[in-house]
Amino acid sequence: MAHVPASERRPQLVQAAIDLMTREGVAAGSTRAIAAELGVAQATVHYTFGTKKDLYRAVVEQVSAQFIGQVRAVSPGDGPFGEQVRTLVHALWDAATGEDGRCVLLSEFSALAMRDPDVQEIMLGLQRAIEGTATEMLTALAAAHGLALAVPATEIAVHFLSGFDGLTARYLALRAPGGRPDADTLRALDLLVATTVGLCLGEPARQP
């Protein structure tokens, strides 16, 4: 078999790990299973990733980069501020709960972080990245409308993401295979948008 440079092998192994873990769960992502997924020797995984923490970090970073990139690529449209926030939030929802299983995979890592300090460190980095992205996008959107946010963007981002995480957890608990979010979850998502916009403008939340 021809030699593959580490610069090429590493992303191949990361994608193989993501595919395997998305399909069968994080616990199934042993070095032996990941090697089999890509059709390489188990030693190749050990050589490329010195520790399981290194592998987990690469997987989380890749999944989060795809997730954040998908949201950043969405145009908020030309409507008023509140409608543009709603567009971005629903894009975030679609990215988080899509058929590719990304939401489930990151939720598994979050649960694992409660008992594993190494994974906790990785997920803390992810949380900071997501909060930073939300803060940046909210600040840019407000600036585009000439708005002075009534509450610091960082605080609004934490408030919003806390509610959003709760709704995605609810969705995962209640969803049927291949099903869509129930009406209560969608209503709660729109209410979260309304309260977030209310915080931005310093006004009571308007019911959607």
Tokens linked to 173 = 């608990």
Res 175: pLDDT:
76
Of 184, 168, 198, 202, nearest in space to 85 by CA: 198
Q: Over the stretch 178-203, which tens digit does the pLDDT of each residue have?
A: 667 788 888 999 999 999 999 999 97
Q: Over the stretch 161-179, which tens digit does the pLDDT of each residue have?
A: 999 999 988 888 887 666 6
Domains annotated on the chain, with CATH: 1-50 (1.10.10), 60-201 (1.10.357.10)
Tokens linked to 179 = 């099903």
Q: How far apart are CA 44 and CA 86, in angstroms?
A: 45
Res 72: pLDDT:
85
Residues 6+ apart with CB under 8 A from 197: 81, 82, 85, 205, 206
Res 51: pLDDT:
87
Res 103: pLDDT:
78
Q: Over the stretch 35-53, which tens digit does the pLDDT of each residue have?
A: 999 999 999 998 888 888 8
Q: How far apart are CA 52 and CA 29, in angstroms?
A: 10
Q: How far apart are CA 60 and CA 19, in angstroms?
A: 12
Q: How far apart are CA 70 and CA 76, in angstroms?
A: 13
Is the pLDDT at 117 greater than 90, yes or no? Answer: yes
Residue 100: pLDDT band with limits 50, 70, 90: low
How large is the average pLDDT for residues 107-129? 91
Res 154: pLDDT:
96
Res 158: pLDDT:
96
Task: Identify how many contiguous H helices and E strands the chain contains and give both numbers.
Answer: 9, 0
